[in-house]
């Protein structure tokens, strides 16, 4: 069982907005920044969002992140077929070190 | 840009020691504001942080490993390595190396970028 809690799946039709939640506690999300990683099928994870809401160069602006208290969320607006992937949130935990969510599989219908 | 590549045996026998190396190109393992980590992913499951090493040689490990993990860095070869002892089938996973970015000297405010392509290690007799 992962320290950070994500829904196992999310879906939407092309063009829709999809939101993925990530719930933690005061020892991780509540006191540190949150990052999001995208893992396309058969590939390594790739940094998607860092420091709660910052996009690395090359990441489309349809991806956005936010954090409030001990929870964070990732939004994908204008969903595209190439966004089908697994998405993981991550944060530093005072007791364990880096912890990840269990991952959310996004399906484009 | 910095690239990472994992290498090592794809099959390890139970109770033996898993050994992997991550070669760093396009950058130096001695770079300040970065550290070097191992992360693994069992088939069909989520990500688990194994541990990290800083250029100074200081290390941290996930407590879940119960002292079985050891990470080292070789600055002359510009690579870092993972050793995981007393492996069982539960250690079967894709192992990734990744560069950790620090913010204001703090890991907890940073992120992982880039990641290696990953290497599958199976524990079986």
Distance CA(A97)–CA(A90), nearest Å, equals: 10
CA dist A79 → A57, A73, A75, A109, B55 (Å): 19, 16, 10, 10, 41
B47 CA to chain A: closest CA distance, Å?
Answer: 6
CA dist., res. B47 & res. B12, Å (int): 21
Inter-chain CB proximity A45 and B37 less than 8 Å: no
Residues of B (54-113) whose Cβ lies below 8 Å from A: 60-64, 96, 101, 103, 107-113
| Residues of chain A contacting B, Cβ within 8 Å | 2, 31-33, 35, 37, 43-47, 50-51, 56, 88, 90, 92, 95-103
- Contacts A38 to B, Cβ<8 Å: none
Q: Which of B106, B115, B120, B50 is nearest to B82 (CA)?
A: B50
Place of tokens 């829904």: A7
Tens of each residue's pLDDT in chain B, 125 residues: 999 999 999 999 999 999 999 999 999 999 989 999 999 999 999 999 999 999 888 999 999 999 999 999 999 999 999 999 999 999 999 999 999 999 998 989 999 999 999 999 999 99
Rg (CA), chain B: 14
């Amino acid at each position: 069982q992962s320290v950070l809690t994500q829904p196992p799946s999310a879906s939407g039709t092309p063009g829709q907005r999809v939101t993925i939640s990530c719930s933690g506690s005061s020892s991780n999300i509540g006191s540190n920044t949150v990052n999001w990683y995208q893992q396309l099928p058969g590939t390594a994870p790739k940094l998607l969002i860092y420091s709660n809401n910052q996009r690395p160069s090359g990441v489309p602006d349809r991806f956005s992140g936010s954090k409030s208290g001990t929870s964070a969320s990732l939004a994908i607006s204008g969903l595209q077929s190439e966004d089908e992937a697994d998405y993981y949130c991550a944060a530093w935990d005072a007791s364990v070190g880096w912890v990840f969510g269990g991952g959310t599989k996004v399906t484009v219908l | 840009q910095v690239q990472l590549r994992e290498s090592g045996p794809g099959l390890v026998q139970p109770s033996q020691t898993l050994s992997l190396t991550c070669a760093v190109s396009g950058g130096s393992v001695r770079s300040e504001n970065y550290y070097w980590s191992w992360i693994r992913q069992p088939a069909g499951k989520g990500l688990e942080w194994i541990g990290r090493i800083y250029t100074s040689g200081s290390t941290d490990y996930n407590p879940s490993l119960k002292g079985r993990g050891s990470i080292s860095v070789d600055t002359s070869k510009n690579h870092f390595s993972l050793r995981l002892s007393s492996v069982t089938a539960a250690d079967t996973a894709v192992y990734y190396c990744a560069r950790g970015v620090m913010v204001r000297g703090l890991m907890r405010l940073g992120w992982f970028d880039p990641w290696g392509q990953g290497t599958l290690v199976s524990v079986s007799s």
